[in-house]
Amino acid sequence: MASECAEAARAFLRAVNALGARAAEALWASAAALAGSAAGSRSVSLWSSSGHERVLAVAPHPDDEAIGCAGTLIRHRQQGDSVRSVVVTDGSRSRALGLDPQTMAKWREREAGEAAARMGIESRWIGLLESDWSDDEARQAIREQLVEADPTIIYAPSAIDYHPDHRRVARALAAAIAELQVQPEVRIYAVQVPLTPLLAGLVHDVSDLQVRIRSVLGCYASQRESIAITRRLRHYAARFYGRASEVEAFCALTAEDFVSLHARPEVRFRPLMIRAWTDPLTVLVGLPERLSWRLRESVRAIPQP
């Protein structure tokens, strides 16, 4: 009887915690809307495409490409652009579903393939062992993809992140770009650490693609919990920019700027947590580094047509 009462009490506390977290999320969303209204005319460009772009999305793990820019990749295809995603590591360190690393890697490769199919894009699987790869391995593998795809636009992870693999893949991408001396436009996407309006100079309202985005994200059943967290970033961005429900925001840089910024020392950032209680801390932690990027003369939004 005592154990049943204890379990009931725990269930009640979990329900209260979840309810409170939803209220906190609504509060932070309202705060984002107020901040956006106070900012007035924001210096941002709205997403568009010529319909003749060659797009490459670089994902440190299978699911990062979908979290960061699923709606945008879908829209590129709708506009007639060629689009390819490249998954650098195999995601085998995930402990979801109780799978061993080898089985998890195969599972996540299937998920990535299905997600790409639902976006209507090509997919390439590099599949380096998660967290157990060398910088040279990643640089060479990414270099090969750059040569093959010859992209005009790259959607990329960055050093504005908490995850070591995300930061390392961003630096490997920067090294490959520098080695090849190519000049695509690079658009940094966010996963669990917001770029914030300080850096997000290119805004894409993907509210009308919400159903398709959900379908793509649904392919990653093994990452359901972490994906649910990242949806808050889309929601907050939509409220800030006065859009309907979902916004994907990017920091658009020249290739030279991307390379230069990834030569900087690493700085600590804070990701979104499972509950929304502490979401404002994701903006405050690492704020000086974001400001430094913003204030550097070389960091400027690339004008969009």
Q: What is the mean pLDDT of residues 12-31?
A: 78
Using CB atoms within 10 A of its CB, is residue 265 exposed (0-12), middle (13-18) or buried (19+)? exposed
Whether 12 has a pLDDT exceeding 50, the answer reads no
Domain positions in the chain are 2-295
- What is the tens place of the pLDDT at every residue in 160-209? 999 999 999 999 999 999 999 999 999 999 999 999 999 999 999 999 99
Label residue 8 by pLDDT band (50, 70, 90). Answer: low
Instruction: Work out the percent of the chain whose per-residue pLDDT is above 90.
Output: 84
Q: What is the average pLDDT value for the chain, to the nearest integer?
A: 92
Instruction: Dump pLDDT digits (tens) for 45-79.
Output: 999 999 999 999 999 999 999 999 999 999 999 99
User: pLDDT for 106-121, tens place per residue?
Assistant: 999 999 999 999 999 9
- CATH number of the domain at 2-295, out of 3.40.50.150, 3.40.50.300, 3.40.50.10320, 3.30.450.20? 3.40.50.10320
